[in-house]
Amino acid sequence: MRFGFWPGPNNSWSDTLALARHAETAGWHGIWYADHFMPNAEDTSGPTSECWTTLAALAVAVPRVRIGALVTGNTYRHPAVLAKMAANVDNISGGRCVLGLGAGWQENEHRAYGINFSTLGGRMNRFEEACEVVTGLFTNAQTNFTGKHYQLTDAPLAPKPVQQPLPLLIGGGGEQRTLRIAAKYANEWNVWGTPELLARKGAILDRHCEELGRDPRSIKHSTQGMLVLTDDAAAVERMKASGRPVIGGDGPGVRATIEQYAEAGVDEVIIPDFNLGATVEAKTAVMDRFAREVMSYFK
């Protein structure tokens, strides 16, 4: 089992850097970053750092762990531009970048910045074309593509990513479209959910792979949950009431949940910092307890 850490984009750069360096030193396997421009809330005044410039900085400043977007909104950038960005971050990092990609969902960003939001079907159609575009550019000397939404003519991409292939992580749990797109293009797949949900959707992903003639084992699975590492059972229940999947309890209880994820076919569990405290010191204290009482048992 791998463990990733997810600093929120509302952190200052200095706090993000401190958390990422601490995670690397403490033995975490990856740093993940969300791709948003503003809060998804009525009050949109809070700071929100941009994803790919942050990943490029982390590629230099944090030299060991994987770094990736969780996940890039396809609507925000032309996929050829995104492929160039990801390849460059992979080169800067020496081959540690993961291109997380999703169809895009946060409507208030699109309205505020004048970005076309479209319908769910429209976003999914763009997303599927984008997956073909980025995987083609990563592989081909020149890429030609004629789609409804994107067109490329003898498009080069150099330098190529260090990793061949550069991992494409598909984010989302839609069983008809998203999981089939993942079966066709993804090296990794991610969705929020309980172990039961991951097991059920993972089986659907496997069926899509089999229909397309692909080995399901070639796609790694990951998920995330709100960590509540505490002896206070009431605190765990309060967090569950928020509606997000919760990884909660004391050390043995959290380990048992991680084991359930492993049994469901999950290869990486990602811990967001959203509820771990207001300061770097508070967050790193929880990270260290998690490393001692949970991560150390899965080495």
pLDDT the model gives residue 174: 97
Average pLDDT of the chain, as a whole number: 97
Residue 129: C-alpha distances to residues 88, 202, 234 (Å): 22, 23, 46
CA distance 118 to 70: 22
Best CA proximity match to 4, nearest among 295, 214, 232: 295
**H/E element, 92:** helix 79-93
Topology (CATH) of 2-298: TIM Barrel (3.20.20)
Judged against a pLDDT cut of 90, whether residue 243 lies above it is answered with: no
CB atoms within 10 A of CB 286: 18
Q: How much is the pLDDT for 138? A: 98
In the structure, what pLDDT confidence band is assigned to residue 270 with cuts at 50, 70 and 90? Answer: very high
pLDDT of 242 above 90: no
Summarize the chain as % helix, strand, coil (round to 5).
Answer: 45, 20, 35
Eight-state DSSP code of residue 274:
T
Rounded Cα distance between 259 and 265, Å, is 10
pLDDT at residue 63, rounded to an integer = 96
Residue 299: pLDDT over 90: no
Contact between 59 and 87 (Cβ < 8 Å) = no
pLDDT, tens digit (0-9, with 9 covering 90-100), for 149-203: 999 999 999 999 999 999 999 999 999 999 999 999 999 999 999 999 999 999 9
Span 113-149, pLDDT tens digits: 999 999 999 999 999 999 999 999 999 999 999 999 9
Mean pLDDT for 15-36 is 98
At position 84, the amino acid (one-letter code) is K
The Cβ of residue 283 has, within 10 Å, a number of other Cβ atoms equal to 24
